[in-house]
């Protein structure tokens, strides 16, 4: 079992309905607390190189601020154009008041990417 959980934030830093930009190793990650759950996606829109964490949390989605594609936080898939590709989704764990992200333990392995350097 992978054991590469990286602490990225305190629970208090990400109130329900908000998103926070963090770094997991060298990977930019948007941590989202919404729908009573925690989500983490790569903090780069799949349409252009902008931070999704600067967009709006809408239900269980995160909307890109630049062109308005809305990404499902469970799957990373955009619900509409102009983005057509999903963003990588990462597993999130909350423990002892802290939020951890794993870059290799995706909730949906179909969206797990392998283009990240291992943190070793």
Instruction: List contacts with ligand FES (CB under 6 A).
Output: 45, 47-48, 50, 64, 66-67, 69, 82-83
Rounded least distance, CB 29 to ligand FES, Å: 16
Question: Which one, 68 or 107, has the nearer CB to ligand FES?
Answer: 68
Residue owning tokens 């995160």: 62
ω into 100 cis (within 30 of 0): no
81 half-sphere exposure, CB direction, 13 A CA radius:
1
State both tokens at 103. 């870059």
State both tokens at 100. 């951890």
Question: Which one, 28 or 82, has the nearer CB to ligand FES?
Answer: 82
Question: Which one, 5 or 63, has the nearer CB to ligand FES?
Answer: 63
Rounded least distance, CB 53 to ligand FES, Å: 12
Residue owning tokens 């898939």: 77
Rounded least distance, CB 111 to ligand FES, Å: 17
Rounded least distance, CB 89 to ligand FES, Å: 16
Question: Which one, 67 or 93, has the nearer CB to ligand FES?
Answer: 67
- Please state whether beta strands 61-63 and 56-58 pair in parallel, antiparallel, or not at all (unpaired): antiparallel
State both tokens at 81. 């154009």
Q: What is the DSSP letter of 36?
A: T
């Amino acid at each position: 079992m992978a054991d590469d959980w990286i602490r990225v934030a305190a629970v208090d830093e990400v109130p329900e309905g908000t998103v926070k930009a963090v770094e997991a190793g060298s990977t930019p990650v948007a941590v989202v607390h919404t729908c009573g759950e925690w989500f983490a996606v790569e903090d780069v829109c799949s349409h252009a190189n902008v931070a999704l964490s600067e967009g709006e949390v809408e239900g269980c989605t995160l909307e890109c601020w630049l062109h308005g594609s809305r990404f499902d936080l469970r799957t990373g898939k955009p619900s509409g154009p102009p983005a057509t590709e999903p963003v990588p989704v990462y597993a999130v764990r909350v423990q002892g008041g802290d939020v951890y992200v794993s870059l290799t333990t995706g909730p949906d392995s179909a969206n797990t990417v392998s283009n990240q350097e291992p943190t070793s």
